[in-house]
């Protein structure tokens, strides 16, 4: 850790918490010009101001005095959403940085699965029409030895093949999944608000599609609306083809399949009713008029936002970080010290990020109220 204040870390922490310069200044009780000067490196906060910053942004003091090695960060693949502001996207990017930071520290202590994405040399032309996307989905399933059976836990499959998966919570703000390639690792960040196994599966498959098909896109902000829309359609097509293999799915669906029938299929495929109906249309199993009729029935039954079985099928959660911390803690390493001195993030944020129980990292060993007696010690009256 360096001993000098790092202005970039102040900007990073402020952005991660969703504050503008003006909002942070008002909370601390100083001018916004002072915050700007701190972030530009034109001034250094005095000790009392530094403590106000630490307490307001809820980061360990050491966070603001560290430097990090530069690493490659590819495009962040965000969805198009009118409800997601630029500020929220910047919050997401910063918190994706937390995921990378935690991974880099944990990787010093434990061995993560080796990255095992399929060889894409056959698809070097970068043309992703429907047939090529179907072929890519089959190639990926074969590479991971999934056959044509349902994927009950895609999060586990991704983690087992070296993809770092985490979920980020932004309080009451609802966020979509997104992904980033970073220095030899692929990262998929899931939204904590998706309490549906089928929706989480589709989100994860969609992001996998981006990681496989769109690595040549270095900045999606430079794309035209038409190019961005096409990229999203391709990721959706991949997710559908990957989760619902054509031959196996087609053998179980017909033009007569009802909504109740799709509900039964949801138990098997772990894919939403809406996605299965869309897939049936794309494969020519149902006509456009039948598709429209089913969509109307979905609206009448108020199934747009919550489908049958959404509260029954278990939601898959990332486990790699949790297991890594469990191994580290079992070895005798103090989790609180590790987070304070190396990770240098708020322990509660790390607990949320790593799916750990509250208090796992935010309490020192000596903070425990209940302690073991020494053998042979007499009990006090």
pLDDT tens, position by position, 294-350: 999 999 999 998 999 999 999 999 999 999 999 999 999 999 889 988 999 999 999
Pick the CATH number of 71-242+315-380 from 3.30.70.270, 1.10.10.2910, 3.40.50.800, 3.40.50.970: 1.10.10.2910
Mean pLDDT score across all residues of the chain: 89
Question: Where in the chain are the domains?
Answer: 1-67, 71-242+315-380
Dihedral, CA atoms, 71, 17, 210, 353, nearest 10 degrees?
A: 80
| Residues in CB range of 26: below 8 A, 6 or more apart | none
Confidence of residue 365 (pLDDT cuts 50, 70, 90): low
pLDDT tens, position by position, 105-120: 999 999 999 999 999 9
Helix/strand/coil percent split, the chain, to 5: 50, 5, 45
Residue by residue, DSSP assigns 127-196 as ---HHHHHHHHHHHHHHTT-TTS--S-HHHHHHHTT-EEEEE-BTTB----EEEEETTEEEEEEETT---
pTM of the model: 0.88
pLDDT of the residue at 141: 98
Q: Which is more confidently placed, 182 or 7?
A: 7
The CATH number of the structural domain formed by 1-67 is: 1.10.260.40
Burial class of 357 by CB neighbour count within 10 A (0 to 12, 13 to 18, 19+): exposed
β-strand pairing of 164-168 with 178-182 = unpaired
Provide, rounded to the nearest whole percent, the portion of the chain with pLDDT above 90.
Answer: 68
Helix (H, G, I), strand (E, B) or coil at 351: helix
Residue 221 has, within 13 A of its CA and on its CB side, a CA count of 5
pLDDT tens, position by position, 144-156: 999 999 999 999 9
| Residues in CB range of 38: below 8 A, 6 or more apart | 5, 7, 10, 44, 45
pLDDT tens, position by position, 185-233: 999 998 765 578 999 999 999 999 999 999 888 777 788 889 889 999 9
pLDDT tens, position by position, 21-45: 999 999 999 999 999 999 999 999 9
């Amino acid at each position: 850790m360096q001993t000098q204040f790092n202005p970039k870390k102040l900007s990073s922490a402020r952005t991660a918490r969703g504050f503008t310069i003006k909002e942070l200044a008002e909370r601390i009780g100083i001018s916004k010009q002072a915050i700007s000067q701190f972030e530009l490196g034109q001034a250094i906060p005095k000790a009392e101001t530094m403590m106000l910053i630490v307490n307001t942004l809820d980061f360990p003091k050491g966070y603001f005095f560290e430097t990090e090695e530069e690493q490659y960060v590819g495009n962040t693949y965000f969805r198009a959403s009118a409800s997601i502001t630029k500020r929220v996207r910047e919050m997401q990017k910063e918190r994706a940085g937390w995921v990378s930071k935690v991974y880099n520290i944990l990787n010093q202590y434990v061995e993560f699965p080796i990255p095992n994405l399929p060889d894409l040399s056959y698809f070097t032309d970068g043309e992703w029409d429907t047939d090529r996307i179907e072929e890519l989905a089959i190639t990926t399933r074969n590479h991971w030895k999934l056959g044509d059976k349902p994927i009950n836990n895609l999060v586990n499959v991704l983690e087992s093949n070296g993809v770092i998966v985490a979920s980020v919570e932004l309080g009451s703000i609802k966020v979509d999944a997104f992904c980033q390639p970073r220095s030899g690792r692929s990262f998929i960040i899931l939204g904590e608000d998706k309490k549906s196994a089928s929706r989480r599966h589709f989100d994860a498959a969609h992001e996998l599609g981006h990681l496989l098909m769109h690595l040549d896109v270095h900045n999606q902000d430079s794309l035209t609306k038409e190019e961005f829309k096409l990229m999203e359609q391709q990721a959706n097509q991949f997710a559908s083809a990957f989760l619902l293999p054509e031959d196996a799915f087609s053998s179980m669906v017909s033009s007569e399949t009802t909504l109740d029938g799709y509900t039964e299929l949801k138990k098997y495929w772990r894919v939403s009713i809406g996605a299965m109906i869309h897939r049936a249309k794309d494969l020519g199993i149902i006509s456009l008029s039948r598709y429209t009729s089913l969509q109307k029935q979905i609206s009448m039954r108020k199934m747009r936002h919550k489908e049958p079985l959404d509260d029954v099928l278990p939601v898959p959660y990332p486990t790699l970080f949790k297991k890594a911390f469990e191994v580290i803690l079992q070895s005798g390493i103090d989790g609180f010290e590790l987070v304070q001195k190396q990770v240098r993030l708020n322990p509660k944020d790390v607990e949320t990020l790593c799916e750990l129980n509250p208090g796992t990292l935010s309490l020192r060993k000596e903070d425990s109220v209940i302690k073991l007696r020494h053998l042979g010690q007499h009990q006090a009256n």
